[in-house]
Every structure is written in C-alpha cells, then in structure tokens.
C-alpha cells in the first residue's frame, strides 16, 4: 500500500511540475505549442453498445480483485461498521499528458496507470460503499484545457459520451431503488456537471441522488445548478444536493484560474463569474462558512520523501473567500504537488479526506431518513491515533 501511495504522489508531482513550469515560465503561445495535441481532432466511433459490460472497462467496480484501487485505506481507517447502501459513480481527473491525440486511447498504459492512481487517492473516501464504479474513458488530453475551439469541444464530447454510456450501464446494473453518489475531480467533475443536466435532471434518477461531489471544477450557482436539477448543499445532512470547491493556500493568487473561467463556459454557454461560483466548505458541509483546523478530522499527508502517507487531524482549516475560493490558510507540507499561486488543486480531496468520508455518511443517513429507511448504524469518525 505504501508503494502504491508513493506512485500516486509521484504521478501528481510530475503533472504539477509540468503545469507549474508552463504557467510560471512560458508564454501563452509556447504553452499551447508544448501541450496542445498535434493536428485536428480525428473523429472516433462510439464504443460498442455493450462496452461497459466488460469488467476491463472499469478501474473499480463490484467484484474486482482485492487490488481494486478504490478499496485503499490509510492507516487508522479500519474496514468496520455497516457498509453504505449507496452505489458510487466516480469519474477520475486527467491523466493523459501526450500530444499525439485529443483524447487518450483506451490502451494507453501511462494514462491508465495514472487514472488508477487517481482513483486510489481520490475515490477512497467513499469506500464505505461496497459499490464503487469508476469507468475507463477516452479522456480529453491535458492540452485540450489550454485552448478553446472546435477541437476542444469535440474532445470533451467524446470523453463525455463514454462517461454517459458507462453511467447508463451503472444505473441499469445497480437496480432501480439504490441511492446514488456522484463524485469526480477536475475533468471528471466537468463531465459530471453535464451528466447531471442530461441524464438526471427532471428524471426519476434525481430522487436517488444522495449527493454530487463536483470537486476541483467551478459550478455556477445561477447558470449551472438549475440545469443540473439539484441545489447546493446548505446543511451537513442535506441529501440530493451539490458540493463544489477549489482549494488555495494563503496568500492566494488565483489570476490564472479566473482567466481560465473565460474558456470554461457554464451549462448555458456563458462564461463563468467568480462572484457566482459555488464554494462548499467540506469541513462544515455547507455553502461558505469558516471552520478551524481543529474541526478537520484528517488530512491525507505524504511524508517528506513520499514513501508513505498518513492521516493527520487538526492541521488544515477552511473558509470561503469573497471570490468563492476555498482558503486553507498556511497548510502543512503536502509536498511539491502545488500549482503556482498556492493552488492546491491536486489536494482538493486529500486535504479533507476524513471529513468527506463523514459527509458521505451524514448525507446518506439524511437520504435514508427522508425515504423511510433506517439510517446506517455507524458513521465515519476520526482516525485512530
């Protein structure tokens, strides 16, 4: 497990070093030259209708071996208590860094290894559930996020269509009464926004949503949430709602992020507005608010040489700024995977690993209560000391 955690951190470091060098040294034109895929988008056939019936199309799913990456737990978190009743659909962030194509081939070894490592580090807070489904998909290349235009749109569409197909299989397989948790980070969160709008809003599925964790991607309160069909999570036990945050240490310099808002339209096609962006405080489980470090049940922190990781409670506070960033004060030494401007994007979930685990338990209990079912017998607690 230690070695696998090391691989996860190492992959993050490679990704962030590249991004950090680009953002701080190169001009916009050179950045695009270095990372934008070569040539135009090349159309690809849709996946076969039964593609996701193949277990190999899933990074995680029920019935996978004991090496399923979503099953990883840090020391001090025991596999005990009543399992969650919800099925979790998790979409991993970008792990394809090449310029050879606008979308990752399904057999790209490096992209697949990176995706598995991301699932290990980012989906694991939800593994009280015995049903975590994390699909492989033809993700858009990292360079697609640096430019706008037809190539980018087509790359995102291809990736989304794979996710939508995987979700259809997930829904058909889990059964009509199973509560559902949607979770994703970065590119994964981008696709989940659209999935909610096109596959969930206005359908019977909306009533089955325990929560949607749209981490590391902006959500517009005015333009996105109505299309997604769910409100922002206002209390820590509310079900059927959306959580979203973007983490920054202080002092924060979000200029690059706000510039990117112009390239990241909302679901109604208009540019994002930082004044309208949802900021969930994952310690409190509410929109906005300020939480002291003492309320953080456990941050997943790597050690100095990245040989292992441990949960450390009480070291990271959180408050939402006037610009709707999630500010974490002067954070602990998390390693080199920090973007310029004190952007803790890679750590959006690890910073609050145990609180997210508890949040899932609380929202599922709320969903079960409103649907006439008994709440789970146990909820997440602080790790063993």
Q: Which helix (H) or strand (E) holds 369?
A: helix 353-370
Q: Which of 12-26, 304-318, 342-356 has the lowest mean pLDDT?
A: 12-26
Distance of alpha carbon 271 from alpha carbon 60, whole angstroms: 34
Q: How many angstroms separate the Cα of 309 from the Cα of each of 197, 227, 335, 346?
A: 37, 39, 11, 15
Distance of alpha carbon 261 from alpha carbon 270, whole angstroms: 10
User: Percent of the chain at pLDDT above 90?
Assistant: 65
Token reading at 90: 């998790």
Q: What is the pLDDT of residue 340?
A: 86
State mean pLDDT over 32-52.
Answer: 86
Q: What is the CA angle 231-233-236, rounded to 5? A: 155
Q: What is the pLDDT of residue 10?
A: 45
Average pLDDT taken over every residue of the chain: 86
User: For residue range 151-196, what is the model confidence (pLDDT) as tens digits?
Assistant: 999 999 999 999 999 999 999 999 888 999 999 999 999 999 999 9
Q: What is the pLDDT of residue 81?
A: 65
Q: Where are the beta strands (DSSP E) in 203-260?
A: 209-215, 241-243, 247-248
Confidence of residue 378 (pLDDT cuts 50, 70, 90): very low
Q: What is the pLDDT of residue 374?
A: 52
Distance of alpha carbon 141 from alpha carbon 64, whole angstroms: 27
Q: What residues are paired with 242 via a beta bridge?
A: 212, 232
Distance of alpha carbon 181 from alpha carbon 192, whole angstroms: 11
Higher model confidence: residue 331 or residue 297? 297
User: For residue range 46-104, what is the model confidence (pLDDT) as tens digits?
Assistant: 999 999 999 999 999 998 876 899 998 888 887 656 789 999 999 999 999 898 999 99
Q: What residues are paired with 281 via a beta bridge?
A: 286
Nearest to 140 by CA among 174, 181, 191: 191
Higher model confidence: residue 54 or residue 13? 54
Q: How many angstroms separate the Cα of 91 from the Cα of each of 135, 196, 340?
A: 7, 13, 25
> Do the beta carbons of residue 320 and residue 327 sit within 8 Å?
yes
Q: What is the pLDDT of residue 375?
A: 44
Torsion of Cα atoms, 69 then 241 then 217 then 315, to 10°: -70
Q: What is the pLDDT of residue 222?
A: 93
Q: What is the pLDDT of residue 187?
A: 96
Q: Is the pLDDT of residue 13 over 80?
A: no
Nearest to 273 by CA among 285, 282, 264, 286: 264
User: For residue range 115-125, what is the model confidence (pLDDT) as tens digits?
Assistant: 998 898 899 99
Q: Where do we find the tokens 């979000």?
A: 254
Q: At what angle do helices 2-25 and 28-35 cross, to 10 degrees?
A: 140
- b/e burial code for range 206-219 (CB count within 10 A of at least 16 → b): bebbbbbbbbbbbb
Q: Report the first-to-last Cα separation within the chain, whole angstroms.
A: 19
3-state secondary structure of 89: strand
Q: Is the pLDDT of residue 244 over 70?
A: yes
Is the omega angle on the peptide bond into residue 190 within 30 degrees of 0, that is, cis? no
Q: What is the pLDDT of residue 26?
A: 41
Q: What residues are paired with 312 via a beta bridge?
A: 299
Q: Where do we find the tokens 């981490």?
A: 215
């Amino acid at each position: 497990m230690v070695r696998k955690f090391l691989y996860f951190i190492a992959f993050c470091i490679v990704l962030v070093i590249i991004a950090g060098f680009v953002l701080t040294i190169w001009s916009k034109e050179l950045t695009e030259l270095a990372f934008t895929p070569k040539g135009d988008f090349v159309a690809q056939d849709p996946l076969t209708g039964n593609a996701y019936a193949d277990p190999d199309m899933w990074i995680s799913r029920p019935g996978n071996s004991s090496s399923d990456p979503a099953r990883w737990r840090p020391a001090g978190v025991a596999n005990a208590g009543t399992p969650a009743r919800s099925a979790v659909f998790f979409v991993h962030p970008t792990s394809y860094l090449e310029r050879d194509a606008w979308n990752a081939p399904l057999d790209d070894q490096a992209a697949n290894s990176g995706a598995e490592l991301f699932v290990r580090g980012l989906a694991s807070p939800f593994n009280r559930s015995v049903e975590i489904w994390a699909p492989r998909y033809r993700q858009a290349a990292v360079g697609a996020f640096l430019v706008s235009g037809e190539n980018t749109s087509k790359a995102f569409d291809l990736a989304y269509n794979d996710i939508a197909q995987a979700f259809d299989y997930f829904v058909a397989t889990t059964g009509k009464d199973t509560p559902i948790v949607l979770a994703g980070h970065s590119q994964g969160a981008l696709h989940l926004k659209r999935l909610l709008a096109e596959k969930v809003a206005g359908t019977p599925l909306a009533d089955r949503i325990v929560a949607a964790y749209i981490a590391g991607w902006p959500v517009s309160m005015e333009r996105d949430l109505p299309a997604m069909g769910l409100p922002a999570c206002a209390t820590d036990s509310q079900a059927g709602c959306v959580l979203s945050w973007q983490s920054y240490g202080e002092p924060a310099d979000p200029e690059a992020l706000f510039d990117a808002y112009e390239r990241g339209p909302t679901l109604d096609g208009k540019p994002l507005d930082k004044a309208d962006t949802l900021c969930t405080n994952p310690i409190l489980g509410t929109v906005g608010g300020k939480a002291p470090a003492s309320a953080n049940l456990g941050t997943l922190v790597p050690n100095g040489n990245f040989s292992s990781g441990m949960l450390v409670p009480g070291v990271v506070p959180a408050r939402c700024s006037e610009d709707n960033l999630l500010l974490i004060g002067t954070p602990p030494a998390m390693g080199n995977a920090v973007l310029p401007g004190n952007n803790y994007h890679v750590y959006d979930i690890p910073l609050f690993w145990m609180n997210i685990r508890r949040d899932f338990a609380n929202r599922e209990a709320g969903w079960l209560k409103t649907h006439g079912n008994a709440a789970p017998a146990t909820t997440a607690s602080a790790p063993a000391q």
